[in-house]
Amino acid sequence: MLRAVGFGNETYLYVASGEIYGGEETLRPLRELFPNFYTKEMLAGDDLKPFLPFSSRLAAIDFIVCDESDVFVTNNNGNMAKVLAGRRRYMGHKRTIRPNTRKLNVLFQTWNQTGWDTFSRKVKKIQRGLMGEPDDPRHGRDDFHEMPSSCICQRVPVNRSATMQTRNLLSQVR
């Protein structure tokens, strides 16, 4: 997917995770496509030893690195991914790519039956609106963590009479 949407082999990848299912064998194709491939274990070496008994501290390291990255690609819809996406959007837009795994899975099952140009075009079409651009559509109401409003005072009030009462009280305090 990354290659199809335009990321070249000069791209630096940081894989934030614990143990990968299938281990190094599973990651080999990704490493071959992106030789600038890193994990916290590779970058920190022995400095990581004090953190190893604490999974939450290891996750915090991943969170910090992902938050500071130029582009963040989620691989799931878990809480860490949602909070990271929301924080990156709220703190000044940074791209967060959300793969459409359902549609991409179908496409990946048949990728070798089509040429690269067709495959890449289909991936880009599937990913339209999910590439982390500032004008990507906002999704359902359950996505507060991923799509926070910049200021709750800018929301359209649901209960206008309660809002007017609050404004009246505030004006009296002033």
Task: Output the tens digit of pLDDT for each of the chain's 174 residues.
Answer: 999 999 999 999 998 887 777 888 888 999 999 999 999 999 999 999 999 999 999 999 999 999 999 899 988 778 888 888 888 888 877 888 999 999 999 999 988 888 999 999 999 999 998 888 766 655 554 555 555 555 555 545 444 454 555 555 555 554
Of 52, 64, 13, the closest CA to residue 36 belongs to 13
In angstroms, rounded to a whole number, what is the distance separating the alpha carbons of residues 80 and 59?
9
